[in-house]
Structure 1
């Protein structure tokens, strides 16, 4: 049985912006993530230009995201045990240092891909410690009544950066070369570090101490069907969709035979598609999270089919708009489900588990798809991924009660709340 649509909350999809701390953090994160996407596009671009290998290009993804899986237990514990703002100050500072090192390496003419991958891997280590605290920090800046809006807007700024960053990167690579792109990424960290120095949020003392260890959190997650489904969808999207979005580099170079500017526009199309579904995922349209994920999985499958058979980069960009809409719908709705269902003592570690599997699935999918692409070409690989996605959509959309996507709309688990449980105030 499909749950009834929820009434539209007062304030609409932008209501989290009423909280000044959240708005400041959101704005700084947008600037920082635009810079990150300059680097995220430039790294695979230069590796493919040097090697012409989709497999070696996929190694950049492994170096960047595999550390998040390995460090997940530590990162989740940090996010639950310590002041998340201080954790973010440490990790964002480390990421800024590695970004500066990447700029110095390339601008001084040292264009060795293994040195490049080593720096990307070092940044991935720091990013692995960063992500659970980053995503959990949103909960410390707004009351629970505005959390769905905050999570959706957080996904919006990430995908707005995905839209703007690659387009800027395409222009910068064309005019200034990769060094200019790497340099601007390093500068972009100033915004988020400045805001983190200024704002204050709920501390670990106000949240209470975490319950048990990392395995305790993992066992707890398995008792909550909504949390399990959120992780399963994240794995599916990360293993199939994220590598396809990286395949824009391969398609630009070996299929469409275009340069950096069309490549930037193709990547920007993903972000444009994400912008189109913001009212849906932010709660203003009244759709359930289960309905949003059903639609998102279907749109991603359709978008991948269109991308695989596109005759040129312009048509491919249209398909990527559809894919981007499905991507934001699925990822934002499942992320919101976790934030709204999970008991507070497990928040950081459950977010870490989701991030661990999401980040592990990405490089595994990228390596597998890259290796197959080097043998049979990129079009069959993307088309095959589309078929798997559509089959998964059919299975998850029409499955029985136990594994129904309707569990994504389960209520908050308050069974661990006590007198000192965290309850964000309504005014910041």
Structure 2
């Protein structure tokens, strides 16, 4: 084995200079995003006292993802992704400045806030899909599974660092400095992308010359793709509205404040990081892996719903994060493994539609459940949905003769 091969085996995707740069930039950016997310959530909840209003904030952020995902997938398969990421990161900086102006007013204007969040969601939706397709270009086919799983680490690590710092910053300085920190953090992505050399990337030339001839519905694994996307929608709508649910449960039901809310998200993220490293050690991830993963997620949701106090909820937060991390990483890795490289952008656009485009609907449902019942209700509903999804996945795998994977083409 050559020295380069040994290095790649030892360090996985981090043997790629491009991946190291991008990972670092996204870690900073994801950490900064939590300053904005936490500040806006607390400001809206303090101004309105309504979980439904908080759900509208979430809907404004993620509805554009649902609408733009098909276009974003085609762009990721036809336009150099470095160019897309530079545009989306620059646009996000501009939107953050606009949000600073809105929250800097003496009285909150919810319509203006929602309008700026729609713009933020538009840029972030295109960026998320492009970033997932970018993993293949940075690490190549052999390290794609590990590279995809490890991208969830910078998301989770940012969540473990950001909320705690954001809670302290909000308590000490208020919302405007939190948004300013987020605006500055986007510069890390811009710098990282500019430092990545195009010559170091693995080409997906077939996706830019005739890639549209690859139709997902013509692939032999199309039934598995449909089932994967359906499971994603069901779990996302019922169990992934953590910004609404955790904020309401910690602050309204359990009597916590900004510091406790930040701690809940941070501890949640610790479990997600652990889950990602566990999955990275597995030889392969496939559709069938979703069955046990959904069971673990369902049990974690139920345990958090039954937490009798804030201290117990915080103690169980890493378990919830473990379930979230296992589900998201397994979903993304198995989705990319089922399709040819030329179609990754389009496949991940559909996954993103389910992951982020469905969140607004789930947020509205969760907000209504919280306002009519309690902050525990959405956790219990999500738990039941995850267990039902696990049963459905197992039935589909059994009916397909145990086939949960597909060769790359």
Q: What are the superposed Cα offsets for residues 248-271 of structure 1, whole Å, 9 maximum, x if unpaired?
A: 110122111111000101111210
* C-alpha displacement of 1:317: 2.1
Q: Which residue of 2 aligns with 1:332?
A: 329
Where 1:409 maps in the other structure, the secondary structure is coil
CA distance in 2, matches of 1:239, 1:210: 35
Where 1:117 maps in the other structure, the secondary structure is helix
Change (3 A) 1:315 1:398: farther
Q: Which residue of 1 aligns with 2:240?
A: 242
Contact 2:285–2:333 (8 Å) recurs in 1: no
Change (3 A) 1:306 1:248: same
Q: Which residue of 1 aligns with 2:406?
A: 410
* Equivalent residue pairs, number: 401
> What TM-score, normalized to structure 2?
0.91
Q: Which residue of 1 aligns with 2:59?
A: 62
Aligned partner (choices 323, 343, 353) of residue 350 of structure 2: 353
Give the unaligned 5+ runs of structure 2. Answer: 1-5
Aligned partner (choices 393, 398, 401) of residue 398 of structure 2: 401
Aligned partner (choices 380, 383, 386) of residue 386 of structure 1: 383
* C-alpha displacement of 1:218: 4.9
* C-alpha displacement of 1:410: 2.1
Where 2:407 maps in the other structure, the secondary structure is coil
Change (3 A) 1:187 1:244: closer
CA distance in 1, matches of 2:38, 2:220: 36
Q: Which residue of 1 aligns with 2:3?
A: none
Q: Which residue of 2 aligns with 1:93?
A: 90
CA distance in 2, matches of 1:99, 1:395: 41
* C-alpha displacement of 1:14: 4.3
Change (3 A) 1:100 1:313: same
Task: Indicate yes or no: 2:131 matched with 1:138.
Answer: no
CA distance in 1, matches of 2:138, 2:146: 12
* C-alpha displacement of 1:136: 0.3
* C-alpha displacement of 1:245: 4.9
Change (3 A) 1:57 1:209: same
Contact 1:156–1:274 (8 Å) recurs in 2: yes
Q: Which residue of 1 aligns with 2:197?
A: 200
Shifted more, 217-226 versus 180-189: the winner is 217-226
Give the unaligned 5+ runs of structure 1. Answer: 1-8, 415-428
* C-alpha displacement of 1:229: 3.5
CA distance in 2, matches of 1:407, 1:366: 34
> What TM-score, normalized to structure 1?
0.87
Aligned partner (choices 70, 73, 83) of residue 73 of structure 1: 70
* C-alpha displacement of 1:15: 1.1
* C-alpha displacement of 1:377: 2.0
